[in-house]
Amino acid sequence: MNTCKRDIVIGIFFVLITGTLAHFLYEWTGKNFIAGLFTPVNESIWEHMKLIFFPMLAYAVYMIRKLQTDNPSLAPALCLGILCGTAAIPICFYAYTNIIGRHMFIWDIGIFIFSTIIAFCLAYHFAKSCCLNSCAVLLYILTGILFLCFAVFSYCPPDLALFWDPS
């Protein structure tokens, strides 16, 4: 197995494990403000998007430092994966809850796993080509904007369904 593919598989497990632990970190730290910027502060869909975004971003930094010289398309590919994986969470959640009319915990876990796998598969696929190099800056900007949105909306969420805490 080549290095990039091996690191992708490791990344999937890294995100699944750290994302799962991150779900509880805000409570474990006594509702620490800094922890809340990177981990869910409530049960809203928006906050659960952090479970893939921040662990994958951290792992992406590791991968880029390790493999970027051999693969110049890696950074934009990972940004695309982060954005798509993060977006897959609300898309899948609202799709299944609108179809079956309610939310089910086991489906939520499945969505997290599915979104993580999709994110890394997209990153791997696009890292092998140079087709994202022309829009690399845009992908970096969008990833940065989403990072800032998580920071701001953690404590000042807009009054939209995506941000509502159902608990």
pLDDT tens per residue across span 11-34: 999 999 999 999 999 999 999 999
pLDDT at residue 128 above 90?
no
The model's pTM = 0.94
pLDDT band at 131 (very low <50, low <70, confident <90, very high): confident
Q: What is the per-residue pLDDT across 67-102, written as a single tens digit (0 to 9) for each? A: 877 888 899 999 999 999 999 999 999 999 999 999
Instruction: Kindly report the average pLDDT of the chain as a whole number.
Output: 93
Q: Which residue has the higher pLDDT, 133 or 160?
A: 160
Residue 68's pLDDT is 75
Q: In the prediction, which pLDDT does 122 show?
A: 95
pLDDT score of 76: 93
Residue 71 confidence (pLDDT): 81
Asked if residue 116 lies in contact with residue 52, where contact means CB atoms within 8 angstroms, the answer is: yes
Query: Which amino acid belongs to residue 82?
Result: I
Residues 118, 50: Cα–Cα separation, whole Å: 16
- The reported pLDDT for the residue numbered 12 is 98
Per-residue CA distances from 70 to 8, 102, 117, 133, 134 (Å):
15, 46, 23, 15, 18
Contact assessment for residue 114 and residue 12, using Cβ atoms and an 8 Å cutoff: no
**pLDDT value of position 47:** 97
Rounded distance between C-alpha atoms, residue 45 and residue 47, angstroms: 5
| DSSP string over 113-157 | HHHHHHHHHHHHHHHTSSTTGGGHHHHHHHHHHHHHHHHHHHHS-
Predicted local confidence at residue 133, as pLDDT: 79
